[in-house]
Amino acid sequence: MLAIYRQLLRLYPPAYRQQFADEMLAVFLDIRADIAKKRFFAQTVCVVREILGLIGGACGEHLRCFLGPDSGFPLRGRSFVMRNGFRFPNTTAVLMVLILCGVAVAIKKGEEIAMSLPHVNPGVEPIHLVHSALLPPVVLLLIVFYAAGLVGWTILFALRRSGVHRLAQLSGEQK
C-alpha cells in the first residue's frame, strides 16, 4: 500500500511534491499506524479516503499551477486545503454572510413586532444630557498621576540618574 501511495504522490507538481511529499508520507504512515487495530472494512475506507484525497489534491494543485497561485476556487469540495498563505477556512466568508443575513432577518422581525403593537411602546421622549459624577474625578486623578510622573522624571533627569544617562556614560568595553 505504501508503494502505491508513493507512486500517487508523483501526481503532484514537482515543486509541491518537493515541499510537502515527506510530510504527506509521514502523515499517511501515522494514519496507517492508527488504523492498524481496526477492522478490515474501516482500514479499507480510510485508505480509499486518503487515496481519493491525494488524487483530488493533485488535480487541484495542477489546476492552481495552470490558473496561477492567486486564483480562487469559489466552490471547493474541501474547506481546509493546506497551501502557502493559508489563513482561514474557505467557509468563513459564507458563514459570515449567513450570520449577517440572520441579523438582518431578526431586525426586520423585531420591527414588524414593534409595529404590530403600537399601544405597548410609548413615544420616545427627547434624550437629556446626564452629567456624570465619576468622570471629573477620574480625569483629575489621571492629570495628577501624569504630573507626578513628569516631576519624577524631571528630578531624575536633573540628577543625571535616568537609565539613558547611565547607558551613555558606559565606556565602549563595558557595553
- What are the tens digits of pLDDT across the range 21-38? 888 888 888 888 888 888
Domain containing 34 equals: 2-67
Is there a single domain that holds both residue 45 and residue 101?
no
d(C-alpha 148, C-alpha 156), whole Å: 12
Cα 58 to Cα 86: distance, rounded to the nearest angstrom: 17
Q: How many separate domains does the chain show?
A: 2
Residue 156 pLDDT greater than 60, yes or no: yes
CA distance 51 to 62: 17
Give per-residue pLDDT as tens, 3-25: 888 888 888 888 888 888 888 88
In a domain, 30, yes or no: yes
Distance between CA atoms of residues 57 and 76, nearest Å: 11
Average of per-residue pLDDT values in the chain: 78
Number of C-beta neighbours around residue 21 at 10 A:
15
Say if residue 24 is in the same domain as residue 63. Answer: yes
Detail the DSSP E strand segments found in 11-133.
none
46 domain residue, yes or no: yes
Residue found under cell 507538481 = 13
Residue 129 resides in a domain? no
| Residue 7 belongs to a domain | yes
Identify whether 21 is part of a domain: yes
Q: How far apart are CA 162 and CA 160, in angstroms?
A: 6
Q: Residue written as cell 547607558?
A: 167
pLDDT classification of 107: cutoffs 50, 70, 90: very high
In a domain, 50, yes or no: yes
CA-CA-CA-CA dihedral for 98, 103, 107, 112, to nearest 10: 40
Q: Residue 121: what residue type?
A: N
The three three-digit cell numbers of residue 89, written as one number: 477556512
Q: How far apart are CA 70 and CA 64, in angstroms?
A: 8
**117-128 per-position pLDDT tens digit:** 766 656 677 777
For residue 82, how many other CB atoms are within 10 A of its CB?
9
Q: What is the pTM of this model?
A: 0.40
Decide if 132 is inside a domain: no
Please give the grid coordinates belonging to residue 64.
492552481
Q: What does residue 134 show for φ and ψ, rounded to 5 degrees?
A: -95, -30
Alpha-carbon span 88 to 94, nearest angstrom: 12
CB 10 within 8 A of CB 17: yes
